[in-house]
Amino acid sequence: MSSARRHRHRVAASLAGLLVVAAGGTGCGSAPGTSPPSGVDQLVIPTPSPDPDDFVPGVDNPWFPLVPGGSWTRELTGTGAVPQRPGGGARESVPAPVEVLVEVLRETRVVAGVETTPVRTTLLDRRGEALETRVELYAQDRDGNVWAFGEQGTWQAGTLGAEAGLAMPATPRVGDGFVRARVPGTGEYRVRVLFSPTAVSVPTGRYTDLVRTLETGPDGEGEWEVDYARGVGEVLRTEVGGDGRQELVARRR
């Protein structure tokens, strides 16, 4: 992110043409404001040379909080495939329902000189047996933006041309768009902030302070609308054009 700080006057050219202001209202209160279709202001995304001095220990972005030892359990229903992940390649469809267990690990990992927070995601079948496990790595800069630094065993920023992308802006606004990861040979995983829903109800409760994003896989394959609740993180994920759905069913702080 030294490049981000040295180039605060520009936005990565790779985002040109990607970003369109989403239609619709922005809600009220702490809902996201509206930005022009120019990306996330003052950030170079993805960043080719993160500066460790630009980052802080831990991740406390209110839309993407990663408290060590915390976890979320989401239930997947529908016949759609599990969402594709940056650099991870395509997945096969899995029997429904399955549970998705997301756990913030207590140890840290250093990637490209930056201390990152590992997050382990495990797909579980109806018997509670693991179908797949992955560990993704995140770090937060001094301004509160959360960056995706890689996935263990698949890709890491600064290695073989892979670059850290943005996982969540400090202050998401309608129209913000960004690359979640750039991994040579797999394309770009992109995210755009759509709007703030009035409310979303899932088994863990009703949430009203929300941000909704649109996640798109490489080459436009697979789109998911994702709702984040302030202070909680992801609460609902819905497949665009399909019946795939992930609802938050349990949370441990």
Domain CATH number, residue 161: 2.40.360
pLDDT at 87: 63
Q: What is the pTM of this model?
A: 0.81
pLDDT at 40: 78
pLDDT at 84: 65
- Closest by CA to 93, choosing from 244, 249, 248, 246, is 244
Per-residue confidence in pLDDT tens, the chain, 253 aa: 544 443 333 333 333 333 322 333 333 345 565 544 445 777 889 988 899 999 999 999 999 999 999 999 999 988 765 766 676 555 555 555 589 999 999 999 999 999 999 999 999 998 889 999 999 999 999 999 999 999 999 999 999 999 999 999 999 999 999 999 888 888 788 999 998 999 999 999 999 999 999 999 887 778 999 999 999 999 999 999 999 999 999 999 8
The pair phi, psi for residue 225, each rounded to 5°, is -90, 130
**CA–CA dist 186, 156 (Å, integer):** 13
* % of the chain with per-residue pLDDT over 90: 61
Q: 95-104: per-residue pLDDT in tens? A: 555 899 999 9
> Could you give the number of structural domains in the chain?
1
CA distances from 136 to 74, 151, 228 (A): 17, 4, 18
Burial of residue 41 (CB within 10 Å: 0-12, 13-18, 19+) is: middle
Owning domain of residue 151: 2-252
